[in-house]
Amino acid sequence: MNSSIFIWIIYAIWLIVVVYLTVSAISVKQETKGHLLQSFGLMFAIIAAFLLPFLPIFRFLNYAPVNPILSSIGLILCLAGMAFLVWGRQRLGRNWSQTVSIKKEPELVTSGPYRYVRHPIYAGGLAAAFGSAIVCGGAWIFLLVILGAIFLYRVGAEDRLMEQQFPNEYPAYKKRTKALIPFVL
């Protein structure tokens, strides 16, 4: 199989999921206050990830897939991560937000993928970015690093927010459920 097909598939998967997340955001519950800075921060981080590989110092990260087997593993990891991300998004329903924010009439969701990890959208996004980095290199390596840092920050921020919103239920849920990797982290 031609190695560039794997790259096109990766880009198509991400495009489909970004469109899905954008369209599904229309029907979410209203936030109690806006978080424009968080949204712009994420957008600038993604832009930076795709510009950094063009700097001469980082050109070594621009590579084609090593072989079809490794590319297949990366593609499967990307697909599995995106499936987990979408499952988490679906389960949150109208409670989802692109930013760490307080929603009007919040609900604590602990079913579906939330039985396994507290942050399946971040876990799925990181797995998908890791698979994409295996297949495509370059910008996807930077995206993995940048999203990894952002997502780890957000895990802590969301945990604190949820502890404030659900002081009776969330501590027990947090104690029995790992943040990103079931039984590990």
CATH number for the domain that contains residue 120: 1.20.120.1630
> Does pLDDT of 39 surpass 70?
no
Per the listing, tokens 């697909």 go with 79
Measured over the CA atoms of residue 32, residue 86, residue 126 and residue 1, the dihedral's sign is: negative
Please indicate, yes or no, if residue 138 is contained in any of the structural domains: yes
Q: Answer for the pair 81, 130: CB distance below 8 angstroms, yes or no.
A: yes
Q: Is residue 68 part of a domain?
A: yes
Q: Is the pLDDT of residue 54 over 80?
A: no
- Domain-located, residue 3: no
Q: What percent of the chain has pLDDT over 70?
A: 86
Q: Residue 4: what pLDDT?
A: 82
CB atoms within 10 A of CB 99: 15
Q: Using CA atoms, how far apart are residues 136 and 144, in angstroms rounded to an integer?
A: 12
Query: Is 6 among the domain residues?
Result: no
What values do phi and psi take at 178, rounded to 5? -75, 160
Number of domains in the chain: 1
CA pseudo-torsion sign 155, 90, 31, 35: positive
pLDDT in tens, 67-102: 889 999 999 999 999 999 999 999 988 777 766 667
- Kindly state whether residue 131 falls inside one of the protein's structural domains: yes
Amino acid type, 7: I
Asked whether residue 7 is assigned to any structural domain, the reply reads no
CA gyration radius, the chain: 17
Determine, yes or no, domain membership for 30: no
Q: Which domain holds residue 166?
A: 38-93+110-185
pLDDT tens per residue, range 105-155: 788 999 999 999 999 999 999 999 999 999 988 888 888 888 888 889 889
Mean pLDDT of the chain: 85
DSSP string, 56-90: GGGGGG----S-HHHHHHHHHHHHHHHHHHHHHHH
- Residue 147 within a domain: yes
- Sign of torsion over alpha carbons 93, 99, 105, 107: positive
Residues 89 and 121 sit within 8 Å (Cβ to Cβ)? yes
